[in-house]
Amino acid sequence: MDPVPLHDRALEAAVSIVANVKTAQLGLRTPCVDFDVRALINHMIEGNHRFTAIARGAPGSSVPTPDLVRDGALGPFRESAEAVGAAWRDPAVLERTVRLPIGDVPGSYALSMHTVEAIVHGWDLSKATGQPTELDPQLHDLAWQASKDIRGDRRPFGPAITIQSGSDTERLMAWLGRQP
């Protein structure tokens, strides 16, 4: 499975979700307990810029986190999504070792982690703003394959939540620490 087209699809889905966020919704709480809608969109923009820097060989920690949403979320988010998508289209980036907060990893693994981040935070925004939350089956499969073996302190989104039943998307989000 080529990770680049799926990364692009996850980014496109996130752009669509952000495009449907209303200004009045920016203060709503999200399933990502640390963020309201505004802060989560800013976090996603920062993450896109961080992964752009990582793809270019720079440390991801060098990215500032200003409030970019004050004049509307879509423009800054779309620009950051286009930048990160372009940065990861170079096949050489996928083959080299890059540094993430969890350590040095293959570029292809880093890209899958960013894809999962776009998927999960897109779901957070959808849930918070009343948009559809079911994932494209291929994005679900990528997110599951990339995260099914994450254990302990490597869990980027929080401890798994046990649910008795639910859709594939709901079970994935519960595994990733979200209350569906």
What's the CATH code of the domain at 85? 1.20.120.450
Q: Supply the pLDDT for residue 132.
A: 97
Domain assignment present for residue 159? The answer is no
Mean pLDDT of the chain: 89
Q: 61-66 long-range contacts, Cβ below 8 Å, gap at least 24?
A: 66/42
Domain assignment present for residue 24? The answer is yes
- Whole domain around residue 11: which residue ranges? 3-148
Domain assignment present for residue 97? The answer is yes
Domain assignment present for residue 177? The answer is no
Q: Supply the pLDDT for residue 126.
A: 97
Domain assignment present for residue 124? The answer is yes
- Domains in the chain, number: 1
How far is it, in rounded angstroms, from Cα 31 to Cα 89? 31
pTM for the model: 0.91
Instruction: Give me the phi and psi of 148, to 5 degrees please.
Output: -65, -25
Low-confidence ranges of the chain (pLDDT < 70): 1, 62, 64-65, 68, 70-71, 151-156
Q: Supply the pLDDT for residue 3.
A: 87
